[in-house]
Amino acid sequence: MQREVDLGNRRDTRLLAKELARAARPGMALFLTGDLGAGKTTLTRYICEELSIKPREVTSPTFAVIHEYQGGRLPVAHVDLYRLGEGADIYELGLDEYLERGFFVIIEWAEFMAEMPGCPFIRVGLRLSPEGKRQAKIETSGDVSVDLKQLSLSEETRR
């Protein structure tokens, strides 16, 4: 599945987060890509809220690289590869172990991963245009589907 939607306001981002949280399963990865300020951490916070994790706990793990959030509908590992940069090693980080242990693994700056773990995944590319328009491109592995009916398709997809 591949779709592109407009995120006209925070409500749209929350709607997307709700559907991503609904699709989330133990052992699944969510790859987040997009520039600094595109909204990766914000989307992660909204998803965690939907999973009944205290949003206060959800902060950017830029320095720690990984934050673990327990106590929600499923355990979440929140990863930020920004500090590691190009070629970040998923095995060195133990991401495969998190997946095996049934975590939902959310990865900011997934473009820096040298290898992709072989697991069900959702990829969300976030974009903030110079005019302040936000868009999200959503792609999933064959066994995953995300309901985006309530979000409007972007012009690009409609063409």
Ligand X SMILES: Nc1ncnc2c1ncn2[C@@H]1O[C@H](COP(=O)(O)OP(=O)(O)O)[C@@H](O)[C@H]1O
Q: Is 77 in a helix, a strand, or coil?
A: strand
Q: How far apart are CA 71 and CA 42, in angstroms?
A: 20
How would DSSP label each residue in 39-60?
Answer: SHHHHHHHHHHHTT--GGG---
| 10 near ligand X, rule: CB under 6 A | yes
> What DSSP designation does 131 have?
T
Q: Which is nearer to Mg ion, 60 or 141 (CB)?
A: 60
Instruction: Give me the 30-69 binding string for Mg ion, x by CB under 5 A, dash otherwise.
Output: ----------xx------------------x---------
Q: Select from Mg ion, ligand X, none the partner in contact with residue 59, using the beta carbon and a kind-dependent cut-off of 5 to 8 Å.
A: none
User: Residue 147, exposed/middle/buried by CB under 10 A (0-12, 13-18, 19+)?
Assistant: exposed
| 78 near ligand X, rule: CB under 6 A | no
Q: How far apart are CA 66 and CA 29, in angstroms?
A: 14
Segment near ligand X (CB under 6 A), from 17-25, 39-47, 93-101, 111-119?
Answer: 39-47
| Residues of span 86-145 touching Mg ion by CB under 5 A | 108
- Farthest CA pair distance, the chain: 43
To the nearest whole angstrom, how small is the minimum distance from the Cβ of residue 1 to ligand X? Answer: 22
List 28, 33, 39, 123, residue binding ligand X (CB under 6 A): 39
Q: Which of 121, 115, 111 is nearest to 141 (CA)?
A: 121
| Residues of span 115-144 touching ligand X by CB under 6 A | 134
Q: Tell me the number of residues near ligand X by CB under 6 A.
A: 13
Binding residues vs ligand X (CB under 6 A):
7, 10, 13, 34, 36-42, 108, 134
